[in-house]
Amino acid sequence: MDYDRLAGSLIAGHLTECGPYTRGGNFCGFKSIPNLVRVGYPITEVYNDGSSVITIHPRSNGAVTVDTVKARLVYEIQGPNYLNPDVGSYLEAIRIEEEAPNRVRVTGVKGNPPPPTTNLAVCSSGDYQAEMATYDSRFSTIAIDVYGRVPDDPKSQKETTVMIRHFVQAPTKEAIGHFTKAFMFCAMQGYCRFHPNMDLRTLAPKPYIRYFRARFQQSTLKVRAHVEGQLPIEVDPILKTASFAGQRSYEPTDPVDLQSFGPAKRAPPGSIVLARSGDDGGNTNVGLGVRNADEWPWLRTFLSTQCFQKLLGDGYQPEYRVERFELPHLHAVHFVMYGIFREGVSSSSIIDGFAKSFGEFMRARQVDIPVRFLVRPWVWQDDPYQGMLL
């Protein structure tokens, strides 16, 4: 079996799934995308050699660019070996290149036999949960359950209001009821400025779903496809597999002296860095990349595992395991953080259970960036980073 060709088709499918993302949806350079409404799915041309071309219909909304495809590629992957029951796809050699406007060619995917086991996603009924949002009009610091921060010299009441989210889970509805009663009984005893959200439906106990991932031996897996009006199609089990000892994780390759890039200024990484983040079970992944080849040595050296943990700030906890790898032809670094969502999105107490904003939070931090990069236009802006003083 030609695993390279099969792996290429797998990646073509990955780029098509959540298809509007390939055409500019959820893209941090969205200001460069024309008519970013009703963009729909892309067209994926899969070729006999395993390469593919991502494109769109003429005169349709959105756009397909190297950066939109790159951002989609690093979304919700779990390491350099993209595993599937039929094939494993090595991503480190992948290339994404513009063939013509709105035509992007994907090549270089290498394949290998799949692992002897495949994932089994198990969902079970959880307990009950409820939440309530209250608001405070003078908070100026952030705690785990506080969302927002009041600026100095606020110009409106909107700017002075942040949300405090109360989130509870319990094995019985009765326990949730005690939380609700306590909340209502204490409403008149709150701190000054306290005012609750009037949507009390969120206080009603509701069941949630627990998710966990198991492994199933491929050799014993029976697959049957049912097509309406036809006899079931039996699929033979996978017999040829390759051992899998975990994803390869490593620190920066060929690190350089960051001082060699010359003077640096404090600025958000988002001035030159694109990012995409997402969820996968109890984990989150973040891919970060730059547009220019001379920025790549700086990015791969700067973005060590320790740097990633620091950029996450209070969102990182020591019990979270982090893995890192590089996509050199894409000028991108990819991270997976294990365990942050525990039993999956539907049971997580984190308000962004899909991890869509993790990458944007990291892009908004302040770090030292070489001035030679900052004098270039900011990500999809006409002017250099406006916060920099030269």
SS (H, E, C) 101-149: CCEEEEECCEEECCCCEEEEEEEEEEEEEEEEEEEECCCCCCCCCEECC
Instruction: Compute the mean pLDDT over every residue in the chain, rounded to the nearest whole number.
Output: 84
24 and 63 housed in the same domain: yes
Structural domain of 184: 124-208
* The residue type at 268: P
199 and 273 housed in the same domain: no
Q: Is residue 284 part of a domain?
A: yes
Q: Domain total for the chain?
A: 3
Six-digit token string for 299: 């990015």
Query: Distance (Å, rounded) from C-alpha 83 to C-alpha 362?
Result: 27
85 and 148 housed in the same domain: no
Q: Which of 187, 208, 229 is the last residue of a domain?
A: 208
Query: Distance (Å, rounded) from C-alpha 334 to C-alpha 276?
Result: 10
User: In this model, does residue 155 exceed pLDDT 70?
Assistant: no
pLDDT, average across residues 297-307:
98
Q: Is residue 86 part of a domain?
A: yes
pLDDT at 369: 97
Among 15-19, 55-59, 382-386, the least confident range: 382-386
Tell me the β-bridge partners of 362.
Answer: none
Q: Is residue 218 part of a domain?
A: no
Closest CA to 296 of 323, 324, 326: 326
Q: Which residue has the higher pLDDT, 325 or 357?
A: 325
Q: Is residue 225 part of a domain?
A: no
Six-digit token string for 99: 């063939």
100 and 134 housed in the same domain: no
Q: Is residue 45 part of a domain?
A: yes
Query: Distance (Å, rounded) from C-alpha 120 to C-alpha 350?
Result: 24
Total H helices, total E strands in the chain: 7, 20
Cβ distance 183 to 203 under 8 Å? yes
- Percentage of the chain with pLDDT > 70? 82
23 and 58 housed in the same domain: yes
Q: What is the pTM of this model?
A: 0.82
Q: Which of 115, 149, 165 is the last residue of a domain?
A: 115
Q: Is residue 389 part of a domain?
A: no
202 and 137 housed in the same domain: yes
HSE-CB of 205 using CA atoms within 13 angstroms: 16
Q: Which of 115, 148, 183 is the last residue of a domain?
A: 115
299 and 364 housed in the same domain: yes
Query: Distance (Å, rounded) from C-alpha 265 to C-alpha 269?
Result: 11
Cβ distance 202 to 131 under 8 Å? yes
